[in-house]
């Protein structure tokens, strides 16, 4: 599947983002139709060391079973070690050029962009996709920058040519379609699925709202 299509409903989660048992939440989301998953184990209460490693392997196996790409946030060593499908790095993480050197050629490598300058740099450096945001205010990421809004998302889409772009930051069922209208290839969410009464139904609805008219 093309990276662009995999970005449609990109669920990001760590064990500390969900009310239920992480494996059950992710399996529900997979059944609901998420198209890519990012393991982002960070912040207060996040697992570390062997616990983090073994949860990553279990979640990767689950994603492999459903044929959904499994991406690791920040931790390039973990991603390479467990045979993930890719890694996502931000502006303050390991630079893209060095990540590319250390990862298999088949890796999907995503880069965060909080403005159009960062987005163009990521595009020129050969990112496989760009995470543009935060589009709306978010309480999930403690150190999130100021929201760029739909106008900022439109500008990033305009300037990054063919590079697939996903919208992140405060995305829920009530604004997901707006992000697609602003030119994003998909939406990335944490709490919209991880905190939902039914993660499966939340994923199903987001899938419907982001489906591109063929
Ligand atoms: N994790 C992310 N995933 C995406 C994705 F494109 F996948 F939607 N976009 C942006 C981020 C934010 O990444 P980063 O700036 O490194 O902060 P953190 O490591 O705290 O997530
Ligand atoms: Mg990061």
pLDDT per position as a tens digit, 122-133: 989 999 999 999
Residue with tokens 């890694």: 87
ipTM: 0.97
- DSSP H helix total and E strand total for the chain: 10, 8
Average pLDDT for the chain: 96
Q: Write down the CATH superfamily of domain 3-210.
A: Aldolase class I (3.20.20.70)
Which helix (H) or strand (E) is 73 found in, with range? strand 70-73
Q: Phi and psi dihedrals of 38, rounded to 5?
A: -120, 125
Residue whose C-alpha is closest to residue 111's, from 124, 101, 27: 124
Q: How far is the CA of 79 from the centre of ligand 2 (A)?
A: 13
Which residue owns the Cα nearest ligand 1 atom 20?
141
Surrounding ion ligand 2 within 5 Å at CB are 74, 90, 93
Which residue owns the Cα nearest ligand 1 atom 18?
90
Q: What is the per-residue pLDDT across 184-210, written as a single tens digit (0 to 9) for each? A: 999 999 999 999 999 999 999 999 999
Break the chain into its structural domains and give their ranges.
3-210
165/112 Cα distance (integer angstroms):
10
Q: Which atom of ligand 1 is nearest to the CA of 90?
A: 16
Query: Which residues does residue 87 pair with via DSSP β-bridges, in sequence order?
Result: 72, 109
1/65 Cα distance (integer angstroms):
15
Which residue owns the Cα nearest ligand 1 atom 1?
73
With contact defined as beta carbons under 8 Å apart, do 102 and 79 qualify?
A: no
């Amino acid at each position: 599947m093309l990276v662009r299509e995999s970005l449609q409903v990109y669920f990001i989660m760590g064990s500390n983002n969900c009310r239920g048992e992480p494996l059950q939440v992710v399996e529900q989301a997979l059944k609901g139709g998420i198209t890519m998953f990012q393991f982002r184990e960070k912040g207060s209460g996040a697992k570390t060391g062997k616990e983090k490693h073994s949860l990553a392997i279990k979640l990767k196996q689950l994603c492999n079973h459903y044929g959904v790409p499994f991406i690791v946030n920040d931790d390039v060593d973990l991603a390479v070690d467990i045979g993930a499908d890719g890694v996502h790095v931000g502006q303050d993480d390991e630079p893209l050029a060095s990540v590319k050197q250390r990862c298999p050629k088949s890796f999907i490598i995503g880069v965060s962009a909080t403005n159009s300058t960062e987005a163009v740099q990521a595009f020129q450096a050969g990112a496989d996709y760009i995470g543009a945001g935060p589009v709306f205010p978010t309480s999930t990421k403690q150190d999130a920058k100021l929201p760029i809004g739909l106008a900022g998302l439109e500008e990033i889409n305009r300037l990054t040519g063919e590079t697939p772009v996903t919208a992140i930051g405060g995305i829920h069922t009530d604004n997901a379609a707006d992000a697609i209208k602003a030119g994003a290839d998909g939406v990335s969410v944490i709490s919209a699925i991880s905190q939902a009464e039914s993660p499966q139904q939340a994923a199903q609805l987001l899938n419907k709202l982001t489906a591109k008219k063929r």
